[in-house]
Amino acid sequence: MNAEPTTALHLHPENWLPILELSVQEVFEIMLGCRLQPANVEEHSKTGEFTAMVGLAGALCGILTVCCGSEAAKLIATRMLGPEIASSEGQVWDALGEICNMIAGNFKNKLAGMDGRCMLSVPTVVTGGEYSFHSLADGDAMSTVLLFEGQPVIIRLELHS
Amino acid sequence: MAVAARRANRGVAEGMSKIRALIVDDSSVMRKIVERSLRQAGIDLEKVMEASNGAEALGALRDNPVDLVLCDINMPVMDGLEFVRQAASVENAKGVPIVMITTEGSESHVVQALSSGARGYIRKPFTPDQVKEHVLPVLEKKS
């Protein structure tokens, strides 16, 4: 009985982008009280200065990243904590990592047949824009760009086959 | 559920005693958000203690009287499920409600947490209303 949902899971990753976008929208709406706007992927393909990443292991294996510029990252922390609390760089990293974690969790919870068979790593946040990202995931990949207060936020999911 | 929530809200309005809460999450941002959500839920917090993993939380439980624990699952050192299991043998923690707040939203995690002794389960992302809905009834039961 358990094999069926797993099979279904691997057959339909091409249909997952709307689920990923919904997961992102829900996290921003609930935790930051704002709705993200669609953006042109080609116009905003450059990696931002802040990259949060959460690994997925088990039935779904790969990495989810959330990239944005420093202005967007600081605004995310401010919206989550309030301007009087979100003062340090560490809190900005922490806030962005938690956003990434919640998006990954929300996404996998929406996939049928995932029940308890996909684990998330604790988040990692990289700062600085002068790097190239090389995920060793060799399967499907999807990405979307959404505008948060006019600032691009790039969400990528790369999967192992 | 609506009736229980209304009853629980009345409990707060009518002067539920002040609560000593322990918030366990490896993210300090999330600990602050949980604390703010508890206050927005109308819970009168006498003291808020924080721990960044299950092992720290066990230490806090042994050393301090606590009325309510809110706990993440995915944490380094000791995760939330192991914490719930070990908390059952801490003398100070007997009868203290533990509510999980986590991104792990699968049915199997919920079952594991509840069968280990957690009294409630809130999935991240969460609204203050959801915190209220899950926390007030367990506090009411405790009192």
Give residue A153's pLDDT band: very low, low, confident or very high (50, 70, 90). Answer: very high
CA distance B123 to chain A (A): 9
Q: Is residue A57 predicted with pLDDT exceeding 60?
A: yes
A residues 72-101 closer than 8 Å to B (CB): 77, 80-81, 85, 90-91, 94-95, 97-98, 101
Q: Which whole number is the average pLDDT over B80-106?
A: 92
Cα–Cα dist B36/B40, whole Å? 6
Judged by average pLDDT, the poorest of A11-20, B106-115, B121-130 is: A11-20
Burial (CB < 10 A; 0-12, 13-18, 19+), residue A143, is: middle
What does the pLDDT average to over A99-108?
Answer: 96
CATH number, residue B88: 3.40.50.2300
A150 dihedral zone (left: phi>0; alpha: psi -120 to 50; beta):
left
Q: Which domains does chain A possess?
A: 3-159 (3.40.1550.10)
What's residue B10's pLDDT? 43
pLDDT of B12: 52
pLDDT tens digits, one per residue of A10-22: 557 778 899 999 9
Among residues of chain A, what percentage have pLDDT more than 90?
A: 57
Count structural domains, chain B: 1
- The one-letter amino acid code at B44 reads D
Q: CA-based angle A3:A20:B27, to the nearest 5?
A: 100
Please provide the average confidence, as pLDDT, over all residues in chain B.
Answer: 88
- B124 contacts on A by Cβ (under 8 Å): 101-102, 105-106
Q: Looking at per-residue confidence, does B141 or B96 come out higher?
A: B96
CA distance B28 to chain A (A): 7
Q: What contacts A80, CB < 8 A, 6 or more positions away?
A: A31, A32, A86, A95, A98, A99, B29, B33
Which structural domain, as residue segments, surrounds residue B18? 2-142
Q: Looking at residues B102-108, what average pLDDT do you find?
A: 86
Q: Do B109 and A116 touch (CB under 8 A)?
A: yes
DSSP state of A43: G
Chain A residues in contact with B126 (beta carbon < 8 A): 30
* SS3 state at A70: helix
Question: What tens digit of pLDDT does each residue of A3-12 get?
Answer: 334 444 555 7
Tens digit of each residue's pLDDT (9 = 90 or more) over B47-87: 999 999 999 999 999 999 999 999 999 899 999 999 999 99
Q: Which residue has the higher pLDDT, B86 or B109?
A: B86
Query: Taking CB atoms and an 8 Å cutoff, what residues of chain B touch A101?
Result: 27, 74, 103, 124
Q: Which of B35, B103, B109 to mutate to test the interface with A (most CBs of A within 10 A)?
A: B103
B-proximal residues of A, 7-66, CB under 8 Å: 26-27, 30-31
CB A23 within 8 A of CB A54: no
Kindly report the length of chain B. Answer: 143
Cβ neighbours of B102 in A, within 8 Å: 105
Q: Any idea what DSSP says for residue A50?
A: E
Size of interface A-B (CB pairs under 8 A): 66
Q: What is the pLDDT of residue A86?
A: 61
